[in-house]
Structure 1
């Protein structure tokens, strides 16, 4: 048995029928590279089963302590059944992108069974009318509970079911997995009692580790090296209230080379800064279209991994976070990028001053029973509608493979992300990179965003405006006073000036 950390357990406590707390991905695959040029569902089932030893999350289930007196435990599931976790559906004709988006949103909106290992794979066939995809492609829609993985450990889980070629070479390591017996209630209560005895020491230890960082932050603020402006509350928007049980989803891929070219237009800017600026421009346009754009900048929470090199395969979440202004009050794309870059630099400095790892450790101090009760009451009374949000949305960047990946012999041609929304935060933008592309996806409450195609169009337009602004126009050759350039050239220059 392995106990969940306070941070991992918080995702269990936050789970309600309207706020399932799982993350996931949508991979698109071309079966032309598989043996025989096609992939059968039973082949996928066998393939996944052969890779279960690659990640512990596949066969571990939760055991909750009675009355949530202590954080839950992971045990090796004595009733594990691969066919419960790997499923198979098909889109009706014509099988276009919009149909896939609707199906992904429906799958993502359904809570997972917390008495089973917390993951699901759904194979979606019938992608026959998606622009840019080869015929016969299928999608793998994955769901994994946030209590089990964060973005970085999710990459490790994904690696377990992907190969670097289409040969489907079986793993060489032996699978020595063995199920465990369900623990007795008396044993769980005894463990919770002893854990409560050492909790005061954990509190003192965490506070002691944080004091030097807090002093360091105070010194940097006093010198003017760090600003506390990021501590301001976020403006209230349509995305910051109580959520429903319905979701929308979409994703847009961009060329990584274009993102880097935009980055180079502002000294010091990063790829993450560009992505945040694109999201800021899209939110500005989307809310302007509804006459709801706030005067102050909207903000995004950006998770920061504090996972050490030796912890890459560890279960659960090892993350802290920073809050960054998105520059939604700024129309000029490059000015917005400069604003976002400055905000990100300042927010990182604040986080590093205290210590991202120390901030993450504070979640360990959360009383389990009180946390669960508070989460349920917060949802039941609709408290998210009554206070200013801490941030408006989430933008989380998950690095992917730069080389082609294969699932059951089929080559991956696209990778996108899904994420949880909850009361007070109804919009998340997962960012996945793969090969030479970087994709901005979004999951949102359907009541808050009834027109996801409008936000998708705003993301595309925001990117195009930033790309155009980043390209410096070449100097036109001087035209002599008596020159009479051809009419075609005159028209071309007129279009360029417009």
Structure 2
């Protein structure tokens, strides 16, 4: 049942990110592009260039419209234009314009939620970086796009041949200036609800079969996979969030990552990312006098797009797996192997449960009870009453492999980070760009007050895994490196 071709039902997994949002828990992601100095790239030129490309960026024209009484998920209404003054903002980086000064500004930008009366994105044009560089900070609600979709959107903003994606045929992304009325929204919502409930018996059967298969796999395997909440230790970085956010970065060599990975049999680049996060957190915990009784754990977002699927410009196809950070293992090599082995088991369990099972169940999440429960949980600060689901969010997204340009200016660096979840005060997201692994850390400073210090420990955490340089700096958790981490 279609009200208008430019109006479509939001999928449950996308709507879930709206329901998870509270005044203290913001569900937007950040994309940061650092551009080399270019006198021709002014704020006005950048704004005009972006507006000219809106046809290739359909999610940026989508407005979320709730359904009366919450009887189904909201609808997306695709608008023909956007008001640039509400979405594109100009800033001056404070202080001397260092990378750390930019990170402080990004933390402030991230500390306010997006206005749901308009399409759910902002761009912040930040001038005044050292050497005349410019940073563009994109702030996009997770309901609009996951990491894979954001990567595809980036390809329609940048000027690089290999990043360009097939664009839609004319008329594919139709638009409308009108918002459907209450009666239309209710009638359409009820019709869609009846349609989706036809899928429930099959989903129940698949879920029970998946649970049985996953339980049987757990019984067979000697090395268990941590369970959310039950196996997560209490730490200072877990608790109820406040609206404030802080941000830090660390750039490491992709070639160095690949060289170190090759020294350890059977591990993946993702395993090595988890091990580097683990090593840095061990140092940070030691510096703060924290020694959890068991290992810290990680929630790892994983894409569930079918292999070979065409690029998406919006939406979410992402699930989560839970694994150990093995912070209770002293030896770095053994720690990496423990992470690799546990993560492999977690993937096998997820395969047996069904990679899309969680996504399919979100389609049946009741909007009002779900969002009401989330807001009550946040208002009561209930995340402080129990261990978190896991210690930190850690993800790794492959980015562009060749130099790109935005508005004619060379893209010097690219960073990205996802949101925090209530109870989890740290998100570490890696986006690779050309020859670098760019780590972005988003934290709640009321739980983790010195995220820039944690970021500074990442080079040492990689170095201690380098078997060709045994005994190099960073081998001991009580001898952290100092300063902002860039390499």
TM-score (norm 1): 0.87
Match of 1:113 in 2: 115
Q: Map of 1:93-492 to 2, 5 A cutoff?
A: 93-128=95-130, 135-164=131-160, 177-224=174-221, 227-230=224-227, 232-308=230-306, 309-310=308-309, 312-313=311-312, 315-467=314-466, 469-471=467-469
- Tell me the CA shift for residue 42 of structure 1: 1.5
Distance 2:225 2:135 in 1: 44
What is the CA deviation profile of residues 318-376 of structure 1, one whole-angstrom value per residue up to 9, with x for unaligned ones?
A: 11111110011123221211111011111111001121122321211212221111111
Aligned in 2, Cα 1:435/1:287: closer, same or farther, shift over 3 Å?
same
Separation in structure 1 between the aligned mates of residue 387 and residue 94 of structure 2, nearest angstrom: 43
**1:76 CA drift (Å):** 1.4
Aligned residue number for residue 21 of structure 2: 15
Tell me how far 1:314 sits from its aligned partner: 5.1
Q: Which moved more, 1:319-328 or 1:79-88?
A: 79-88
The answer as to whether partners of 1:78 and 1:181 remain within 8 angstroms in 2 is no
Distance 2:310 2:100 in 1: 38
Q: Is the 8 A contact 1:281 1:331 kept in 2?
A: no
CA contact (8 A) 1:234 1:389 kept: yes
CA 1:162–1:342 in structure 2 vs 1: closer, same or farther (change >3 Å)? same
Q: 1:213 to 1:104 in 2, by over 3 A?
A: same
Provide the TM-score with structure 2 as the length reference.
0.89
Question: Deviations 1:172-194 (Å, cap 9, x if unpaired)?
Answer: 97587533410101111222333
Q: Which segment is superposed worse, 173-182 or 200-209? A: 173-182
Match of 1:4 in 2: 10
Q: Contact 1:250–1:443 at 8 Å: present in 2 too?
A: yes
Q: Distance in 1 between matches of 2:123 and 2:174?
A: 21
Match of 2:85 among 83, 86, 105: 83
Q: CA deviation at 1:388?
A: 1.9
Report the number of matched residues: 459
Paired residues of 1:52 and 1:160 also in contact (CA < 8 A): no
Question: Could you tell me how far apart the structure 1 residues matched to 2:16 and 2:326 are?
Answer: 30
Cα displacement (A) at 1:239: 1.9
C-alpha distance in structure 1 between counterparts of 2:273 and 2:330, whole Å: 16
Structure 1 residues 230-239 or 409-418, which shifts more? 230-239
Indicate how the Cα distance of structure 1 residues 95 and 228 shifts in structure 2: closer, same or farther if over 3 A, else same: closer
Give me the whole-angstrom Cα distance separating, in 2, the residues matched to 1:349 and 1:104. Answer: 37
CA contact 1:406–1:412 (8 Å) conserved in 2: yes
Distance 2:101 2:37 in 1: 20
Query: Higher mean Cα deviation, 196-205 or 92-101?
Result: 196-205
Provide the C-alpha distance between the structure 1 equivalents of 2:300 and 2:188, rounded to a whole number of angstroms. Answer: 35
Q: Judging changes above 3 Å, is the alpha-carbon distance between structure 1 residues 378 and 254 closer, same or farther for their aligned structure 2 residues?
A: same
* Partner Cα distance (2:109, 2:195) in 1: 41
In structure 2, distance between residues paired with 1:463 and 1:5: 39
- Name 1:132's counterpart in structure 2: none
Moved more, 1-10 or 98-107: 1-10
Unaligned runs of 5+ in 1: 129-134, 474-498
Q: Deviations over 1:461-489 (max 9, x none)?
A: 2123223x45469xxxxxxxxxxxxxxxx
For the residues of structure 1 that align with 2:25 and 2:280, how far apart are their CA atoms?
25
Alignment correspondent of 1:56: 58
Would you tell me which structure has more helix in proportion to its own residues? 1
Give CA deviations for 1:431-490 in whole Å, capped at 9, x if unaligned.
Answer: 1100010111100001112122321222232123223x45469xxxxxxxxxxxxxxxxx
What do the CA deviations read for 1:86-114 (whole angstroms, capped 9, x no partner)?
A: 22111244211221111000001111111
How big is the shift at 1:295? 2.2
Worse-matched range after superposition: 40-49 or 272-281: 40-49
- Mean CA deviation greater in 311-320 or 408-417: 311-320
CA RMSD of aligned residues (A): 2.3
Residue pair 1:220, 1:226 contacting (<8 A) in 2 also: no
Tell me the equivalent position of 1:496.
Answer: none
Q: Secondary structure at the match of 1:422?
A: coil
